[in-house]
Structure 1
Amino acid sequence: MRDQMQFTLSDIAASLGVEVMGNGDIDLVGAAEPGDAGPDQLALAMDPKYADGIARGRARAALLWVGADWQALGLEGAICLNRGKAAMPLLTRALDPGLGIAEGIHPTAVVDDTAQIGPGARIGPLAVIGANVTIGARATIAPHASVGYGTVIGDDLVLHPGARIAHLCTIGDRYIGQSNSVVGGDGFSYVTLDKESAVESLRGGMAEGEKAVAVEGSHHWARVHSLGGVEIGDDVELGASSTIDRGTIRATRIGRGTKIDCQVQVGHNADVGEDVMMCGNVGVSGSARIGNRVVLGGKVGVSDNIFIGDDVIAGGGTNIYTNVPAGRAVLGSPAVKIETEMAIRRELRRLPRLAEALRELQKTVSKLVDKD
């Protein structure tokens, strides 16, 4: 690309590995939806249903579907792709202006003398890098971000403003930490010293099939310190204000390629597989184990010490209290097969009519009884 925010249609085509149709020298500064695109923006119309938008806009160039008649659409140049959505990662990466941090270490950043920072680093104002930290090449660390002592991170790190990585963590290449994300905060782990807590007693009794009775009396919580770290594979992203707690003794683990949305909590000792996707407000309790390619929709809750198999999909708002076998799609609270939950919801919608029918039946029976 000739400049971070100025490029040609040919530049975009080269980044996508395709040929340009028409004029490849059109200067562009960004991308836009077809109806909003100006003459210096690439119109994104990857499906025929978006063709009308091109006429409403002023785009000279567009990203189109294969077989599109770009000249009939009034364009000067175009790029055509079989599956436009698949091009979005490459396209948006090519157009991303980045965090605007100059190469080098800002004078106000605090970098310990023992830290090893790879070549090509961009470290912004008031960032803090602790002792014995190792960071690979081409790191981008925004203002107010921090990395704790003894942590080892691979190449192409990106930390947005205010992102935190605590001490003694291990992270692979191409990690992205959005603003206010935290890797390696202490786990939420407490025990009572004088006697069994009410929670322990209640849980143990219910597991044995006994009646649930809370224990009376006061007790005090003693903090269990988190001695383990966090181990994160390559190509992991952590969303804004999301947290991954460090383990109690062993490390909390996040597998390669996992993507975590905003405001997600991963508890201590959890073991998350590869290419997992967790949407906003997911909560994973401590010591839960999650397989590969699992998708957890928004507000999914996962109980502690359970296992979720590979390729499980949990719909939004699902609460998972027990193990889920591989390949299952679940929904509801408690989680059941998605087809079972949909059947339950259909029956729930019928309840008002059933209740009214029951009331009418009661009236009829009452009248018959009165006659007798």
Structure 2
Amino acid sequence: MKSVTVGELAHSLEARGWGDLSLRVTGAAEPAATGPVGPEGGVMALAMAPKYAETLKPGSMAILAEGMDPEAYGLKAAIFAPRPRLLMAGLTRSFDPGPDIPEGVHPTAVIDPTAQIGEGAAIAPFAVIGAGVRIGAQARIGAHVSIGRGTVLGEGAVLHAGARIAHGVRAGDRLILQQGASIGGDGFSFVTPEESGIEEIRRTLGTRADIKAQHWTRIHSLGGVEIGDDVEVGSNATIDRGTIRATRIGSGTKIDNLVMIGHNVVIGEDCLLCSQVGVAGSAKIGNRVVLAGKVGVNDNIEVGDDVIAGGAAKLFTRVPAGRVVLGNPAVKMETQLEIQKAIRRLPRFAQQLAKLQETVTRLLEKG
């Protein structure tokens, strides 16, 4: 079992330690799941606010926020977190063993002779690696992962079981794909011989002429996907390849489970896309953009740098840099709050209008 002393952990986290810094830490848990530290060490409680510290056990050790009193909780040792969640990131990194992929190449893996595997890479059972693939040093490729021909992955990639990368994808260093992520599938691009119903209503804003049968013809996807450094993609998220040019994901961007990114999309650096976000084809997302859960982004629009879109917002038109938007259709946060207030007042307005109508009717009858 991996363990470090409280002092070593505090030093690695650049945080202040308190109490017996020689105690050994073997992991982390919520306060209620921890107990007094034994001779072999113990688990560090995450109690970074007073409400979480109520269930701390005397004789245990914990991470506390600055200003909390470890003696009041009867602790043996503590680490103070100036920014609790940032310290939590360092703590969890220290104790995360990563996926269970033994070193070396498993004999059941299918690797094309032309593929190049970097030094120290680990490849799990039943992985399939295509022709001309290049995988950087220290990569960890999980079971049943498939990587299509000509794809290039940088150093330190971690591809969890069942992840899929199609042909012609290029990714930088330290790519992380969770289970079932799919990179480089064909874009959803189809065309009709004549103007389609979709094109018609976009042009006429809803008016339909004679409706007739038409069939859809595939537009093939010749572009790839280009991914920067330190990108993470969640379980069952999908990133489609471009039609002619590549779909691009900037360095540092984090993509949650069940996110869908369409063909030709460009996403900037250090963006955060939460679960069930959908970005339609050819949209352009700036740097440091946050799209909360279930946000939808229309095709062919631009979202500026540092935009934050609240949960379930629907972005139909260009969003300027730095704006915070909510609602469907998305508008400025303060505007949406006023809209919600107005909606809550509608029943009262309806009652007042009804009384006003009664008054007017009586006056007319008297007149």
TM interval, shorter chain, is over 0.9
Partner of residue 222, structure 1? 217
Q: Gaps spanning 5+ residues in structure 2: where?
A: 37-41
- Shift in CA distance, 368/279, structure 1 to aligned 2, threshold 3 Å: same
In the TM superposition, what is the alpha-carbon distance from 1:225 to its structure 2 partner? Answer: 0.7
Partner of residue 368, structure 1? 363
Asked if residue 32 in structure 1 is aligned to residue 32 in structure 2, the reply is: no
Q: TM-score, with normalisation over the residues of structure 1?
A: 0.92
Partner of residue 346, structure 1? 341
In the TM superposition, what is the alpha-carbon distance from 1:281 to its structure 2 partner? Answer: 0.8
Partner of residue 9, structure 1? 6
Q: What is the identity, as a one-letter code, of the residue corresponding to 2:99?
A: L
Matched residue of 2:131: which SS? coil
How many residue pairs get aligned? The number is 362
Deviations, residues 256-312 of structure 1 (Å, cap 9, x unaligned) = 111111111110000110111111111100000011111111111110111111111
Asked if residue 309 in structure 1 is aligned to residue 308 in structure 2, the reply is: no
Q: 2:44 aligns with which of 42, 45, 65?
A: 42
Partner of residue 204, structure 1? 203
Q: TM-score, with normalisation over the residues of structure 2?
A: 0.93
Q: What is the identity, as a one-letter code, of the residue corresponding to 1:156?
A: G
Q: Percent identity?
A: 56
In the TM superposition, what is the alpha-carbon distance from 1:6 to its structure 2 partner? Answer: 3.8
Matched residue of 2:28: which SS? strand
In the TM superposition, what is the alpha-carbon distance from 1:254 to its structure 2 partner? Answer: 0.5
Deviations, residues 205-261 of structure 1 (Å, cap 9, x unaligned) = 33xxxx622551000100011000000000111111111100000000000111111
- Shift in CA distance, 322/183, structure 1 to aligned 2, threshold 3 Å: same
Q: What is the distance in 2 between the residues matched to 1:341 and 1:161?
A: 42
Partner of residue 181, structure 1? 181
Maintained 8 Å contact 1:202/1:214: no
Asked if residue 101 in structure 1 is aligned to residue 101 in structure 2, the reply is: yes
Partner of residue 62, structure 2? 62
In the TM superposition, what is the alpha-carbon distance from 1:73 to its structure 2 partner? Answer: 2.9
Q: What is the distance in 1 between the residues matched to 2:323 and 2:308?
A: 7
Partner of residue 54, structure 2? 52
Deviations, residues 73-128 of structure 1 (Å, cap 9, x unaligned) = 32222222322221122111111121111111112111222111112222111111
- Shift in CA distance, 116/67, structure 1 to aligned 2, threshold 3 Å: same
Maintained 8 Å contact 1:34/1:59: no
Q: What is the identity, as a one-letter code, of the residue corresponding to 1:64?
A: L
Q: What is the distance in 2 between the residues matched to 1:176 and 1:286?
A: 23
Q: What is the distance in 2 between the residues matched to 1:349 and 1:66?
A: 41
Matched residue of 1:131: which SS? coil
Identify which range, 254-263 or 21-30, moves more after superposition. 21-30
Q: What is the identity, as a one-letter code, of the residue corresponding to 1:239?
A: G
Identify which range, 357-366 or 259-268, moves more after superposition. 357-366
Q: What is the distance in 1 between the residues matched to 2:362 and 2:15?
A: 81
- Shift in CA distance, 366/67, structure 1 to aligned 2, threshold 3 Å: closer
Identify which range, 25-34 or 5-14, moves more after superposition. 5-14
Deviations, residues 293-340 of structure 1 (Å, cap 9, x unaligned) = 111111111101111111111111111111011111111111111101
Asked if residue 157 in structure 1 is aligned to residue 152 in structure 2, the reply is: no
Asked if residue 117 in structure 1 is aligned to residue 117 in structure 2, the reply is: yes
Maintained 8 Å contact 1:201/1:215: no
Maintained 8 Å contact 1:273/1:290: yes
Q: Gaps spanning 5+ residues in structure 1: where?
A: none
Matched residue of 2:317: which SS? coil
In the TM superposition, what is the alpha-carbon distance from 1:18 to its structure 2 partner? Answer: 4.2
Query: Which stretches of structure 1, 4 residues or longer, exceed 6 Å deviation after superposition?
Result: none
Deviations, residues 4-44 of structure 1 (Å, cap 9, x unaligned) = x4443344234313464333332333211223213421011
Matched residue of 1:85: which SS? helix
Q: What is the distance in 1 between the residues matched to 2:35 and 2:132?
A: 50
Matched residue of 1:53: which SS? coil
Partner of residue 295, structure 2? 300
